[in-house]
Amino acid sequence: MKCIINRRSQFSASHRYWLPELSPAENLQRFGKCTTKPGHGHNYVLNVSLEGELDPYGMVLDLAKAKAIIRQEIIDALDFSYLNETWPEFKKTLPTTEHVAQTIWQRLKTHLPIVDIQLFETPELWANYKGNGMEAYLTVSDHFSAAHQLALPQLSEEENRAIYGKCASPNGHGHNYQVEVTVKGQIDPRTGMIVDLGDLQSAIAHHVIERFDHTFLNKDVPYFSSVVPTAENIVIHICHLLHQPVADIGATLHKVKLIESPNNSAEVIAESIDHPSKNERSSQSLAAV
């Protein structure tokens, strides 16, 4: 029987986004504050996922040995380092979150049975690399506050309460929603990016956060005038809203997760669902104006 185990590590490091072939103005336009010299730092969190057959002792492998390998090959080199000058890979390609994750995979793959490298740059930004050439995943987390009522308009209040309980209250109730948007794409061999982070954050802010934040979803978002705004329906609608904007900035929308509360969340693999046509998207945009 195969099983996946995960090992968590941490390191602190700094980096800078700067391409010498670009002018200072071009670097600033492309990378913003990340061009600041001598750089900026993060407390990185690294999760290494390992897969293997269970041995007679009930283990995939000796976790103490895995810990020692990760420390020797990765943590000792990167902790308290300036990434741009630490490894040759980061002189050719900028040390973005996704490229650092890819490089860690390459340096561990001959030592450990890796199936995923997950690297958190901040609690709101992380990358996953699974060994697929130059393909990587980047996740951005954002939030909005909104109220909703769970009720079908064709049913009575008593009938809705039988289905949705207290959530059917006519006055609604609210949540501080957390939304995690994962995109995938090819790592650029020079910039180390699969997508411009600023463009991705702007797309999420414009198409989701600004549209949903401080609203009563049933009344203020036209889509939910006829669709019950459950966490499941909200996350599907977010997928629809972001599908084309993410494609427009050169990536593929892979997954969206909506955390309604610490006890309740919903997620959808965006590539597995049908998205509205261009005409349907235009109609929804007009309705939202």
Digit-coded pLDDT (tens) for 57-83 = 899 999 999 999 999 999 999 999 999
* Mean pLDDT across 30-52: 95
All residues at 6 or more sequence positions from 198 whose CB lies less than 8 Å from its CB, including other chains: 32
Digit-coded pLDDT (tens) for 152-206 = 989 999 999 999 999 999 999 999 999 999 999 999 999 999 999 999 999 999 9
Check whether residue 150 and residue 172 sit in a common domain. Answer: yes
CA distance linking residue 201 with residue 197, whole number of Å: 6
**Is 167 one of the catalytic residues?**
yes
Digit-coded pLDDT (tens) for 78-129 = 999 999 999 999 999 999 999 999 999 999 999 999 999 999 999 999 999 9
pLDDT greater than 90 at residue 7? yes
Check whether residue 229 and residue 259 sit in a common domain. Answer: yes
| Three-class DSSP category at 205 | helix
164, 165, 169, 222, 230 from 161: Cα distances, Å? 5, 4, 8, 23, 14
pLDDT of residue 32: 93
First-to-last alpha carbon distance for the chain, in angstroms, is: 55
Tally of structural domains, the chain:
2
Strands 40-53 and 114-122: what pairing? antiparallel
pLDDT of residue 287: 45
DSSP letters spanning 134-153: TEEEEEEEEEEEEEE----T
From 116, 131, 146, the end of a domain falls on 131
Check whether residue 127 and residue 182 sit in a common domain. Answer: no
Digit-coded pLDDT (tens) for 219-255 = 999 999 999 999 999 999 999 999 999 999 999 999 9
Check whether residue 159 and residue 111 sit in a common domain. Answer: no
From 131, 151, 171, the end of a domain falls on 131
Check whether residue 29 and residue 78 sit in a common domain. Answer: yes
Which domain CATH number covers 182?
A: 3.30.479.10
What b/e readout covers 214-252, taking b as 16+ CB neighbours within 10 angstroms? ebbbbeebebbeebbbbbebbbbbbbbbbbebbeeebbb
Q: Hunting for tokens 């997928």 — which residue is that?
A: 239
The backbone torsions φ and ψ at residue 48, rounded to the nearest 5 degrees and listed phi first, read -105, 120
pLDDT of residue 274: 80
The backbone torsions φ and ψ at residue 107, rounded to the nearest 5 degrees and listed phi first, read -85, -15
Check whether residue 112 and residue 170 sit in a common domain. Answer: no
**Which residue type does 42 have?**
H
Q: Which of 159, 116, 154, 147 is nearest to 234 (CA)?
A: 147
Residues of the domain holding 204: 135-289
pLDDT of residue 289: 36
CA distance linking residue 274 with residue 277, whole number of Å: 9
- Confidence class for position 271, pLDDT limits 50, 70, 90: confident
Class of residue 135 by CB neighbours under 10 A (exposed 0-12, middle 13-18, buried 19+): middle
Check whether residue 101 and residue 143 sit in a common domain. Answer: no
Check whether residue 123 and residue 141 sit in a common domain. Answer: no
Check whether residue 126 and residue 156 sit in a common domain. Answer: no
- Confidence class for position 273, pLDDT limits 50, 70, 90: confident
pLDDT greater than 80 at residue 277? no
Please pick, among 42, 73, 89, 167, the residue that the annotation labels catalytic.
Answer: 167
Tokens at residue 129, please?
């690399």
pLDDT of residue 76: 98
Please pick, among 207, 240, 260, 275, the residue that the annotation labels catalytic.
Answer: 260
Check whether residue 187 and residue 110 sit in a common domain. Answer: no
**Is 214 one of the catalytic residues?**
yes
Please pick, among 173, 214, 271, 280, the residue that the annotation labels catalytic.
Answer: 214
**Is 232 one of the catalytic residues?**
no
Question: Which parts of the chain are beta strand (E)?
Answer: 2-15, 40-53, 81-82, 114-122, 125-129, 135-148, 173-186, 215-216, 252-261, 264-269
| Three-class DSSP category at 41 | strand
- Confidence class for position 280, pLDDT limits 50, 70, 90: low
Q: Hunting for tokens 């061999």 — which residue is that?
A: 189
